[in-house]
């Protein structure tokens, strides 16, 4: 199983749409919906997870679990119940976000120093949603260190979660390599629920080593999939004994370029205008890790912020399919 990770400010509904069109992804998790001290209106849920208007699936048909972030078990449970009524593919809980602003408001990875609270949150959400609605959680190995990783994993499982993702670094590690995939093995052996490995998987070889060291067959891909949209397909091909040459992207630039154009169209339709060029540059910046052509495209628009000029520079002769995103209408 291969999951597409949430990444605040990067891997949102726009990239979920585009990357799941490429294929190889079994399930997605949305960016976090912040819960503080109130019951959120439906429009907040559907703004962050517009797939709720499509049966909890991307336009390509891939299920999306909606992720909640917060520290109040009662408020999280009440919002989870309301969210569950909108029909996501499941409810996910965020115990891994390393952002300073989030942690300062007692959300995300900072809760890894409070495994007892984690257990209460998971249990409250599990009780609040229908039994057939999956509840999962994502954690890191710890906040400043990994000394309480096992306690947190047991808290998630003991609270009634059906599944957990482990990002194999602490909050203090941030996104610096390496990821400590071998530490996941210990957690997986201790809990009685499926565990998915996450962190620093950029290519097929990384995926194979992660599986070997963590003992997890299931993987969650984040930045690696943003940089190489064919990564999930390449991992699947290698898993079936077929050759997946790590030197060449599984999806060619010629095949990807129309999807980059579709991405640009969706951004233009649904994202604030002053963010248009920045969103495209952000993705091209990742893509140039795998595609020399993306480096050329990035250089061509690096100093351009006018959307019309960007379109003329990159997409004037590129076919764009009809906008199938879920915010239309």
Catalytically active residues are 97
**3-state helix/strand/coil string of the chain:** CEEECCECCCECHHHHHHHHHHCCCCEEEEEEEECCCCCCCHHHHHHHCHHHHHCCECCCCCEEEEEEECCCHHHHHHHHHHHHCCCCCCEEEEECCCCHHHHHCCCHHHHHHCHHHHHHHHHHHHHHCCCCCCEEEEEEEECCCCCCHHHHHHHHHHCCCCEEEEEEEECCCCCCCCCCHHHHHHHHHHCCCCEEEECCCCCHHHHHHHHHHHCCCCEEECHHHHHCCCHHHHHHHHHCCCCCCCCCCCCCHHHHHHHHHHHHHHHHHHCCHHHHHHHHHHHHHHHCCCCHHHHHHHHHHCCCCCHHHHHHHHHCCCCCCCCCCCCCC
The Cα–Cα gap between 21 and 254 comes to 15
Q: What residues form DSSP beta bridges with 138? A: 94, 165
Phi, psi of 193 (to 5 degrees): -125, 160
> Could you give the angle at which helices 276-287 and 253-270 cross, rounded to 10 degrees?
160
């Amino acid at each position: 199983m291969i999951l597409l990770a949430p990444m605040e400010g990067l891997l949102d509904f726009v990239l979920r749409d585009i990357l799941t069109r490429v294929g190889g992804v079994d399930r997605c998790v949305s960016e976090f919906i912040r819960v503080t001290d109130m019951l959120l209106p439906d429009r907040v849920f559907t703004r962050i997870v517009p797939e709720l208007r499509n049966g909890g699936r991307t336009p390509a048909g891939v299920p999306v679990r909606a992720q909640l972030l917060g520290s109040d078990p009662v408020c999280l449970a009440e919002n989870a119940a309301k969210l569950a009524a909108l029909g996501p593919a499941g409810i996910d809980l965020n115990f891994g976000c390393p952002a300073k602003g989030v942690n300062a408001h007692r959300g995300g990875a900072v809760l890894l120093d409070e495994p007892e609270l984690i257990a209460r949150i998971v249990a409250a959400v599990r009780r609040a949603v229908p039994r057939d609605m999956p509840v999962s959680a994502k954690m890191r190995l710890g906040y400043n260190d990994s000394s309480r990783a096992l306690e947190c994993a047991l808290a998630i499982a003991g609270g009634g979660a059906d599944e957990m993702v482990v990002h194999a670094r602490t909050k203090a590690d941030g996104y610096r390599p390496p990821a400590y995939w071998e530490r996941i093995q210990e957690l997986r052996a201790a809990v009685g629920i499926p565990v998915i490995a996450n962190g620093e998987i950029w290519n097929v070889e990384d995926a194979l080593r992660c599986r070997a060291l963590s003992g997890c067959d299931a993987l969650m891909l984040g930045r690696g999939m943003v940089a190489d949209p064919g990564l999930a397909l390449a991992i699947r091909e290698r898993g079936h004994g077929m050759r997946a040459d790590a030197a060449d992207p599984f999806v060619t630039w010629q095949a990807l370029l129309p999807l980059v154009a579709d991405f640009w169209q969706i951004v233009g339709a649904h994202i604030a205008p002053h963010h248009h060029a920045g969103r495209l540059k952000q993705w091209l910046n990742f893509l140039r890790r795998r595609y020399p052509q993306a480096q050329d495209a990035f250089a061509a628009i690096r100093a351009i912020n006018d959307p019309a000029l960007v379109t003329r520079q990159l997409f004037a002769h590129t076919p764009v399919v009809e906008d199938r995103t879920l915010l239309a209408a």
